[in-house]
Structure 1
Amino acid sequence: MDELKKVTTLDEEIALDDYSCDDPLVTCNCSCSGRQDVTFNACQDVSDITNIPATLQCLGRLLRVTVTVPNACRGRLINIGVLVCEGSDIRGFKVCRVMVPTGTPSDGPCTSITTDTFCFVLSEEATTLCTSRTVTVRVLANYTTSMPAILNCSC
């Protein structure tokens, strides 16, 4: 299969330099949930403690989506969007712009392309991770140019 040329992703368009050091701090509250004080005596290297109660915090699920676009015209630029919905709520949206490899004339005018993985993080409460969860993944794809570059059209 031809290599997929990645032109840009939304994440790559935002450089770390774009963030201000004055951005407000947001707390995730994912610190330790169990606690017990332990005192080491002089020359004591090891101390065994047991049964510290701990609460599961900051749980989530990772959804990995790979998209295949069949019959893509060679040499064309495509925007591919992945939308994750749960009921009527949107849980995530990502876009990737890819260039379909050109190939050789004997390869034919179309090819199938497969993207890198789109990753989505779905947060959970400690009580909901043990239950099933259904999300709907929708994929949108379209050419970003309506005519091949050889027509030399400008908008």
Structure 2
Amino acid sequence: MPYPPTHLLFFGLSVLVAVIILIATLSFEGNLRFRDKGFLAVLLIAGGIAALFPDVSAVWNFILNGNLRHNMIGPLPSHSILFGLITVVLASTLCYFIYLDRIKTASLGLMVGIMFFFHLVLDDFAGGNIPYLYPLSDSSFSIFDFHVLGSIIQVIRSLLF
């Protein structure tokens, strides 16, 4: 797990991603005006929370068990794509019930998904093996491993050429 200053940089990155998503959203609507500054604040807060959300179980384990183990919430690994999808669906559903706007819901879901994935990649880059494919496979792996990275590149190459 990277050090806390690295996770603070996540928040800075989430600000950048939020601004890009907001500009893209407003340009799709056809009016590139910053008329909804409150939603930008919601995107910033959601991005900051999503960037740290995979480690939420560390707080739970610290209170109950006195340790900082942060990779499981019950039987579900918190550092998996399945947990990320559950997080995106819950955040998007909440956003839709609050705003009743599909574009804002999609923007918030995209923000939460990107920031959650950045957290996984950062933890993976720092040397952790992540159970990305949890329900399909219990094994942890690193996407920065040369064999996995080579396989990904080979699949992409076969799809493109």
Normalized against structure 2, the TM-score is what?
A: 0.29
Task: Between the two structures, name the one with larger relative contact order (CA 8 Å, sep ≥ 6).
Answer: 1
- Bigger Rg, structure 1 or 2: 1
Higher fraction of strand:
1
Normalized against structure 1, the TM-score is what?
A: 0.29
